[in-house]
């Protein structure tokens, strides 16, 4: 379904903009989904995009702009006056409107806010601006259909008609009492199948999954996944219905969370993208590189202690990369499996002890296999004595790195740190040092140096 | 919202099962969401779970069983006869029904199929069994509301009434022609707001995002994310409407894909969970450990070439872990950023060349910073000559590892291999060898050995 366009096509569009062939442009874009339009616009320059969007009417324009990637949108909207930005905001759902307003330079925000024509929208935005963008309040939209529990189905349908413009996707009707306390919900199916004079209180479903404004976005995502919800209502501490969160925003949260976890595993300390500047990318990457570097310098000091032994048996140095790499690989595997089991529900029914016993078992099998293979190889290439040292050390390193990799995420989690960090440079650096320690200790012991 | 229960509570439940206090058990579970019930049942033994589910009626029973984790469900259903499994399947949506059937031992499937009471459900299942479970056909459910384009709204409502039992969440009504070719859709809102004698063809929306049965689940996920869909229709090559895919299944696909990518980064070659057996875990982990091991043995051979140099300057060995660790860390960072940018749309508007220039820039800044810090340290601890060698090598390694880390995902992707593999043991092993090569070459050059 993804559309791919040729360079020639983009040339043609640019030409059309230049020659102001509005007829052609309107025809080209009308009927296209906003996500497809934004994909095309990524290829054109700012003024051309603005020109084309001008032709497409305020609704499509707002949807396309809201669909752009954040950093590109910020850049793009610099061409717009406060009044033009306000007009875009007028045609967005309140949650997207607030996101867009928050991206504006602080001094421009006030100006944009006062230029908003739709007073209800302005009130919505003023309310939503209070919430942190990572919590349920910051994710919710104000647009929803609310029915009083004392209404009839007819009154409810009238309300749907009244709000039809504003609430594009209804999904479900929320039932509240006279004080706007959330009581339950009625599905559109139920409304269609009920008579006009049926009382809402006779058909509504009382139990309802809900979230509070202060809950973190990860909690909201977890709840919606657990109960297979497409939409969830948001209430304040008194239980008053304030808004709703739709699944498309939660899909974005889940995707972003997965990206952040991957970055943590890779030792990238801020959420960056390849399109960010050199400075942002460096700032995100350097901290963990320096941690690794300090680990490496410690390692150098540590090996330095064994300088005499190395002079006697220089071949000992050959296997340093084997030992450190194995420790790192085993540690990352162990911590990744642990992190994922902590995220899933299998964490609940396996006790920590069961898990630990299995970790030892797997490490034992892996350690023995690798130690044997390496011994077979080294027996011929490095002699039986050194082969014994390397394989013994390798086995110990596999066991220790498995335990470290399993325990570290649990410890990090207890301290409120993202356990995915444990599968990153943190564990490799620690395991490098651990591996060197084991290797040289075993060597000293077995070689009687 | 997540419920946490005490050990005492589970004891009480087990006691109640033993004493057959059915009244208490029914009261305890009635009104609870199936996802909450399954969470409680994870803590009880198989027979107790079966006893409790017996009390809750066929609909709740089916939902709870379908909500269990796959491996636990397979174990749990071993207590059930083919007739009992068939009864569970009778009360599930067709997509979940097929998944459950596919988990049964092959010889039991035929028996279960013939025991299904609902002939329409049996037909649905027979059809869905044809599709691979990773493609759109394998994800879709047959339950949906279909309206002929020549119908009136009244006829459409009658159809909704007829299917009310079977189609729990309607979401949207699909419009087809006399040959079941998908023409478009009508929202429930539109149906509520239209008069009974309105023709469907006057209110339906013709353009519609759809997927074909053969499309991969990742493609479906991408499309639904792009267009912010809660549900998408599935058609065959002739354009006939066959089923629909709902967003909850896609959320599972996205979550699973993220897990698989993380595992690829960690060098785990099969999708395993900590609850899997020792053999499965070993089989998933050992292959990449052995790749790393072979890399380590190559490294040993390589360092062996420089045995004489090492005997002259044993301090050279001290910095082997620093060099290899830095190469690994830089490589993982670079490839993760590249992989994520390939998944997002920023891949489109940055050309590969722009990206490459930036990679060199970031690597230059990181490399210079680290090389300077290490030089400062080593100047005092290892002398100016060796300090120069280590820092020069470090800088080269950072540059090379950045380029390798950036290029590898692109190459893997071209060959149809998951690029997330590039952020795993693959790149660290390659970079270990690269780092050693650079280090010893620089040493030989600068120290005139």
> What is residue A199's three-state secondary structure?
strand
Cβ of B254 within 8 Å of Cβ of A258? The answer is yes
Domains with residue ranges and CATH for chain B: 7-135 (1.25.60.10), 145-246 (3.10.580.10), 278-447 (1.10.357.20)
Q: What is the pLDDT of residues A339-373, one digit of tens each?
A: 888 876 544 455 677 778 888 999 999 999 999 99
Q: Determine the average pLDDT of the residues in A144-154.
A: 96
Q: Please check the confidence at residue A160 and state whether its pLDDT lies above 90.
A: yes
> What is residue A447's three-state secondary structure?
helix
Q: Which two tokens stand for residue A160?
A: 């749907």
Residue A1 has a pLDDT of 34
Any A CB within 8 A of B283 CB: no
Q: Determine the average pLDDT of the residues in B371-393.
A: 92
Cβ of B321 within 8 Å of Cβ of A42? The answer is no
Going by their DSSP bridges, the two strands B231-235 and B211-212 should be labelled as: parallel
* Inter-residue contact A437 to A321 (CB < 8 Å): no
Using an 8 Å CB-CB cutoff, list chain B residues near A283: none
Nearest-CA distance from A376 to chain B in Å? 12
Question: What residue of A is the nearest CA neighbor of B254?
Answer: A255
Q: What is the pLDDT of residues B269-292, one digit of tens each?
A: 888 877 778 888 888 899 989 999
What distance lies between CA B409 and its chain's CA centroid?
19
Q: Please check the confidence at residue A278 and state whether its pLDDT lies above 90.
A: no
Any A CB within 8 A of B281 CB: yes
Q: Which of A89-103, B186-200, B348-362, B402-416 has the lowest mean pLDDT?
A: B348-362
Q: What is the pLDDT of residues B76-122, one digit of tens each?
A: 999 999 999 999 999 999 999 999 999 999 889 999 999 998 899 99
Residues contacting A136, CB < 8 A, separation 6+:
A211, A212, A213, A214, A215, A216, A217, A219, A220, A234, A245
Q: Residues B320, B285, B256, CA angle at the centre, nearest 5°?
A: 115
Chain B interface test: which of A48, A184, A245, A329 (most B C-beta within 10 Å): A329
Any A CB within 8 A of B360 CB: no
* Inter-residue contact B314 to B410 (CB < 8 Å): no
- Give buried/exposed letters for A166-202 (b at 16+ CB in 10 A, else e): bbebbbbbbbbeeebebbbbbbbbbbbebeeebebbe
Any B CB within 8 A of A317 CB: yes
Any A CB within 8 A of B355 CB: yes
* Inter-residue contact A310 to B317 (CB < 8 Å): yes
- E strand intervals along B46-172: 145-148
Question: What residue of A is the nearest CA neighbor of B282?
Answer: A362
Question: What residue of B is the nearest CA neighbor of A161?
Answer: B193
If you count DSSP H runs as helices and E runs as strands, how many of each does chain B have, helices first? 23, 6
In this prediction, residue B1 has a pLDDT band, given cuts at 50, 70 and 90, of very low
Helices (H), B77-105: 82-90, 94-103
Which of B223, B228, B225, B230 lies closest to B245 in space, CA to CA?
A: B230
Cβ of A432 within 8 Å of Cβ of B319? The answer is no
> What is residue B246's three-state secondary structure?
strand
* Inter-residue contact A95 to A220 (CB < 8 Å): no
Q: What is the pLDDT of residues B125-169, one digit of tens each?
A: 999 999 998 999 999 999 999 999 999 999 999 999 999 888 988
* Inter-residue contact A122 to A200 (CB < 8 Å): no
DSSP state of B152: B
Q: Is the ipTM of this complex over 0.95?
A: no
Question: To 10 degrees, what angle do helices A82-90 and A58-67 make?
Answer: 100
Note which residues in 47-86 of chain B have CB less than 8 A from chain A: 69, 72
Q: Which two tokens stand for residue B446?
A: 């600068």
Q: What is the pLDDT of residues A256-276, one digit of tens each?
A: 888 888 888 888 888 887 778
Any A CB within 8 A of B127 CB: no
* Inter-residue contact B43 to B10 (CB < 8 Å): yes
Using an 8 Å CB-CB cutoff, list chain B residues near A360: none
Any B CB within 8 A of A287 CB: no
Cβ of B362 within 8 Å of Cβ of A285? The answer is yes
Q: CA quadruple A10, A11, A14, A16: dihedral positive or negative? A: negative
Distance CA B268, CA B372 (A): 36
> What is residue B141's three-state secondary structure?
strand
In this prediction, residue B447 has a pLDDT band, given cuts at 50, 70 and 90, of confident
Residues contacting A79, CB < 8 A, separation 6+:
A46, A47, A50
Residue B444 has a pLDDT of 87
What residues form DSSP beta bridges with B435? none
Q: Determine the average pLDDT of the residues in A311-337.
A: 91
Cβ of A289 within 8 Å of Cβ of B329? The answer is yes
CB nearest to A333's CB, from B43, B267, B338: B267
* Inter-residue contact B147 to B174 (CB < 8 Å): yes
Distance CA A202, CA A153 (A): 10
Distance CA A30, CA A12 (A): 17
Any A CB within 8 A of B366 CB: yes
Distance CA B376, CA B381 (A): 9
Q: Determine the average pLDDT of the residues in B368-379.
A: 94
Residue B2 has a pLDDT of 38
Distance CA A287, CA A352 (A): 32
Q: Determine the average pLDDT of the residues in A10-34.
A: 91
Instruction: Tell me the CB-side half-sphere exposure of residue A56, using CA atoms within 13 A.
Output: 25
Cβ of B317 within 8 Å of Cβ of A303? The answer is yes
The chain-wide mean pLDDT, for chain A, equals 90
Q: Determine the average pLDDT of the residues in A396-405.
A: 93
Cβ of B297 within 8 Å of Cβ of A247? The answer is no
Q: What is the pLDDT of residues A51-81, one digit of tens each?
A: 999 999 999 999 999 999 888 899 999 999 9
Q: Which of A39-43, A141-145, B54-58 has the lowest mean pLDDT?
A: A39-43
Q: Please check the confidence at residue A136 and state whether its pLDDT lies above 80.
A: yes
Residue B346 has a pLDDT of 47
Q: Scanning the structure block, which residue is given the tokens 């102001």?
A: A20
Question: What residue of A is the nearest CA neighbor of B64?
Answer: A227
Any B CB within 8 A of A362 CB: yes
Q: Which two tokens stand for residue A50?
A: 């603005």
């Amino acid at each position: 379904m993804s559309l791919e366009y040729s360079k020639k096509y983009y040339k043609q569009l640019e030409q059309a903009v230049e020659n102001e062939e509005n007829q052609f442009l309107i025809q080209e874009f009308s009927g296209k989904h906003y996500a497809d339009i934004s994909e095309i616009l990524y290829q054109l320059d700012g003024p051309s995009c603005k020109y084309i969007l001008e032709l497409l009417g305020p609704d499509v324009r707002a949807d396309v702009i809201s669909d752009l990637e954040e950093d590109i949108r910020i850049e793009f909207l610099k061409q717009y006056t406060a009044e033009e930005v306000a007009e875009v905001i007028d045609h967005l759902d309140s949650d997207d409107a607030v996101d867009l307003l928050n991206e504006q330079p602080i001094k421009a925000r006030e100006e944009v806010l006062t230029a908003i024509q739709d007073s209800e929208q302005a009130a919505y935005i003023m309310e939503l601006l209070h919430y942190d963008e990572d919590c349920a309040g910051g994710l919710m939209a104000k647009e929803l259909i609310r029915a009083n529990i004392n209404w009839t189905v007819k009154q409810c349908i009238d309300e749907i008609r009244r709000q039809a413009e504003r609430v594009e996707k209804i999904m479900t009707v929320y039932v509240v009492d006279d004080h706007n306390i959330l009581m339950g919900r009625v599905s559109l199916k139920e409304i269609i199948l009920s008579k006009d004079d049926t009382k809402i209180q006779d058909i509504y479903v009382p139990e309802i999954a809900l979230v509070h404004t202060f809950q973190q976005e990860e909690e909201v995502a977890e709840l919606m996944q657990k109960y297979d919800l497409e939409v969830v209502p948001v209430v304040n501490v008194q239980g008053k219905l304030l808004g709703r969160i739709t699944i498309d925003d939660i899909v974005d949260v889940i995707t972003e969370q997965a990206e952040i976890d991957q970055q943590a595993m890779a030792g990238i300390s801020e959420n960056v993208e390849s399109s960010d500047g050199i400075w942002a990318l460096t700032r995100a990457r350097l901290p963990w590189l320096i941690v690794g570097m300090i680990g490496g310098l410690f390692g150098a000091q540590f090996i330095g202690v064994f300088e005499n032994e190395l002079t006697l048996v220089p071949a000992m140095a050959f296997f340093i990369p084997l030992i450190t790499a194995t420790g790192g690989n085993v540690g990352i595997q162990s911590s990744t499996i642990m992190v994922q089991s902590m995220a899933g529900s299998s964490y609940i029914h396996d006790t920590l002890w069961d898990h630990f016993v299995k970790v030892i078992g797997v490490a034992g099998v892996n350690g023995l296999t690798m130690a044997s293979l390496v011994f077979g190889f080294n027996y011929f290439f490095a002699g039986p004595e050194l082969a014994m040292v390397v394989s013994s050390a390798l086995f110990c390193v596999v066991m220790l790195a498995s335990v470290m990799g399993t325990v570290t995420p649990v410890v990090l989690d207890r301290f409120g740190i993202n356990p995915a960090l444990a599968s990153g440079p943190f564990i490799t650096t620690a395991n490098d040092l651990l591996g060197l320690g084991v290797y040289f200790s075993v060597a000293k012991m077995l070689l009687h140096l």
